[in-house]
Every structure is written in C-alpha cells, then in structure tokens.
A = this chain, B = another copy of it.
Amino acid sequence: MMTIEKILSKIPIELCQPGDYEIWAERFISPEVMAYISGGSGSEISLKRNRQAFEKISLLHRALIDCTKGTTQTDILKQQLRHPVLLAPVAAQKLVHPEGEVATAQAANAMEAGMILSTLSSTLLETVAEHTEATKWFQLYFQPDKHATLNLVQRAEQAGYQAIVVTLDTAIQTLSPRAQKLGFTLPQHAQPINLAKKISTQPTILTPTQSVIFQGMMTEAPLIEDIAWLQAQTRLPIIVKGVMHSKDIEQLLNLNIDGIIVSNHGGRALDGTPASLTLLPTIRRQVGEDFLLLLDGGIRSGYDAFKAIALGADAVCVGRLQIYALAVGGAKGVAHLLKMLRDELELCMALTGCSTLNDIDRGTLFTEERT
C-alpha cells in the first residue's frame, strides 16, 4: 500500500496545482479520449458556467483567530471522512489508465477519501471495493429492467458500498459534439463490465412518425415511484445526483431521501443549465440546514471546494480532475491530486479563520456594496 511519502516522491515540479493535471493529461491520452472527457453537451454553456461561477465568488481573509486545532474532518451519513472532497462517479476509467478504477480506489484508500463508483465502471465493482477501506458509494443508473437494477444494488451492498447514488439527469445521454466530431467510440477494454449487456453509443435511427426521445429514451427514465421502489429494496441510504428544480426536490424530500448531489453532470447533460454552484444557495434554502447536500461540477481547486462549502455544500465531488490525474499518474496521480485539494482547502480555512467545516459560512465571503 502506498505511503504519502512514496506518493509525493518524483512528482514533477510543474504539477503544483490541481488544474495542472488537465494540461498534462493531453500528453497521456489521445485527442479523441481527451475530447470525450473534457467536452460538454450542446454549446458547452453549462460547462463554461461551472467554472465562471467559482471565479465570481470572493473570500474574505481573516487573521487573529487561533486555528491550531483545525481539521477538515466531517461526518457524512454517520461515516467519518478525513476531508470533504469525494471522487465523483466517472465511467470507463480504463479508458485513460490500464488499472482504471482500481488505481482510483487505491488513491482513495491512501488519502482516506470517499469514492463513488460508477455503474459504467470498467472494473468489477467487487474488485474495486477490495482496494479501498475508505468511504465508498455506488452510483446507480436505473437499468431498462428492474431485475438488472436490483442485481446491481444487491451486488453493491454485498461488496460493502455504503450508499447508493442515483443519477437522474441523464435520461438522454449523448456524446459531446467534440467527441462525436473526432469519432470517439468506447473501446472494448473500457466497456461497462458490471452490466449484462453493452450500452451502445450509436445514435438511434428515427422514423418520421416517432420521437426517439419522447417515445424512446424517456420510457426508461426513472420516476418518483422508481425511487420509492429502490428505497424498499435496500437498507443503504439513497442519495440523488442531478436534480435542480424545486419541484423535483420537493418530491424527493417527501420520500425522505438521504441526500442530494447538486450537479449539472459537469455540463454533459442538459446544456444551458446554471452552474451547479449557482444553484446551490437556493437548494440549500429549500432542503434546510441539516440535509446532506454535495456539490459536483467545476471544482478545480481546494479554493473551489471552500467556496462551495461556504455557499451551502457539505462536501464536493471531483470528476474530470480525477480522470486527468489518473491518466497522468495512475493511483499516485489521483492521490497527489487529492492531497493538493485538501491542502488548498486547509489553506483557505486557515486564512479565513475556520477551524472546522461548520465554520465555513457566508461570513467568509465578500459581497460588494452597491454604491
């Protein structure tokens, strides 16, 4: 098992910020794969907004507070996490590194970071589970047939995953235009090995009298009764990823869902949505102070994690960054990334006078007066 010391040895000096992995990744993976990972849907409006939202937030430096007892520790779903940065569920990680999700799990374990494994993992979920003792959750896409869905959930339970994360924003999922234009297809070795059959990335052929969307894809989209069904099937807490409308959230709160990940799927689902950070304050207000709320989308630094927490998140997820680091350095890369994120978060906390995550509130932010 890796030690932090080993992880940090021989990291090139140029990799000194989390975002540096994005630049380096281009040397390690092909343009098609880079397009697949980095691209967004439509005109990439949501993708851009995810970043811009963070740049607009202002932090207020604070001195004269004793932070020597500071810690980033937090309890989420009764599990203790060393820090509030989780690895978001990302499909097909063998696409960028031969060890794929196993390497990611090793990094999560070494850094005691939470990991969310995708339904579309290119490694058996049981194998991944063996490589990390830290918090691990299983991300679930509802399958066309309920037995297949149930089978996934039961396997996740047995393998020791501690929560189910249901993704609701990709009833319709297509390749980003960037990836389409470069002819990207998912190679054999990165197929979703946990599913009974392969998921096709080919566009469905339309006939003039049918809508491939309404009468096709939407027939498989889970509804509120499906979430209720899922609750009945598992003892695990259920977290929903990818809801932003107050009416969706209201329905989920009525079901006593266990948490929400505020997300626009990294700008890969409906293009034109606000940044997930922009949505956060409104959603926090709706769900109340004690409800579990995570943020995903646009995180490129520990500064961003801090801002998300100040605006209402309990923790954040990193998706693309994780994959860039995996591509560049495998387990070591991901671990180093997590370390940098935590260091930057600690730096923000220390310099804003926050000893715990609870101290990170609106008072740490600055809003310009209108003169």
Which of A's residues lie within 8 Å of B, judged by CB?
3-5, 8, 13-14, 16-17, 19-20, 42-43, 45, 49, 55, 57-72, 112, 168-169, 171-172, 177, 180-181, 183, 205-208, 211-215, 217-219, 221-224, 227, 242-245, 247-248, 251-252, 264, 269-274, 278-279, 281-282, 300-301, 303, 307, 339, 343-344, 346-353, 355, 366-369, 371
Chain B residue with Cβ nearest A70: B214
A181 to B206, CA, bound (A): 44
A271 to B16, CA, bound (A): 15
> What is the distance, in angstroms, from A178's C-beta to the closest C-beta of chain B?
10
Give me 18 other A-B pairs in contact (C-beta within 8 A), A49-B58, A64-B227, A112-B208 excluded: A4-B208, A20-B177, A43-B300, A45-B55, A58-B273, A60-B245, A61-B264, A61-B269, A62-B245, A64-B252, A67-B214, A68-B219, A70-B214, A214-B349, A269-B351, A270-B347, A272-B307, A281-B371
A303 to B279, CA, bound (A): 20
Chain B residue with Cβ nearest A14: B181
B272 touches A57 (CB 8 A): yes
A42 touches B247 (CB 8 A): no
A66 touches B245 (CB 8 A): no
A61 and B244 contact, Cβ closer than 8 Å, known pairs A214-B71, A350-B213, A369-B282: yes
> What is the distance, in angstroms, from A185's C-beta to the closest C-beta of chain B?
11
A287 to B79, CA, bound (A): 46
B206 touches A339 (CB 8 A): yes
Closest A-B pairs by Cβ, 8 of them: A70-B214, A63-B168, A59-B272, A213-B346, A270-B351, A67-B218, A62-B245, A16-B180
Chain B residue with Cβ nearest A348: B270
Q: What is the predominant secondary structure among interface residues of chain A facing chain B?
A: loop
- Which of these, B58, B67, B169, B270, contacts A274 with CB under 8 Å? B58
A-B contact pairs, 8 of them (CB 8 A): A4-B207, A43-B300, A61-B264, A62-B245, A64-B168, A66-B218, A270-B352, A367-B371
B213 touches A303 (CB 8 A): no
B205 touches A5 (CB 8 A): yes
Residues of B within 8 A of A4 (CB): 206-208
Residues of B within 8 A of A273 (CB): 58-61, 366
B66 touches A214 (CB 8 A): no
A141 to B4, CA, bound (A): 32
Residues of B within 8 A of A65 (CB): 223
Residues of B within 8 A of A346 (CB): 211, 213-214
> What is the distance, in angstroms, from A279's C-beta to the closest C-beta of chain B?
7
A64 touches B269 (CB 8 A): no
B224 touches A344 (CB 8 A): no
Residues of B within 8 A of A17 (CB): 42-43, 177
Residues of B within 8 A of A269 (CB): 61, 351
B272 touches A68 (CB 8 A): no
B218 touches A70 (CB 8 A): yes
Residues of B within 8 A of A344 (CB): 42
Residues of B within 8 A of A218 (CB): 66-68, 70, 350
A61 to B168, CA, bound (A): 10
A231 to B203, CA, bound (A): 48
A61 and B351 contact, Cβ closer than 8 Å, known pairs A16-B177, A177-B17, A214-B70: no
Residues of B within 8 A of A20 (CB): 177
- Which of these, B63, B68, B349, contacts A248 with CB under 8 Å? B63
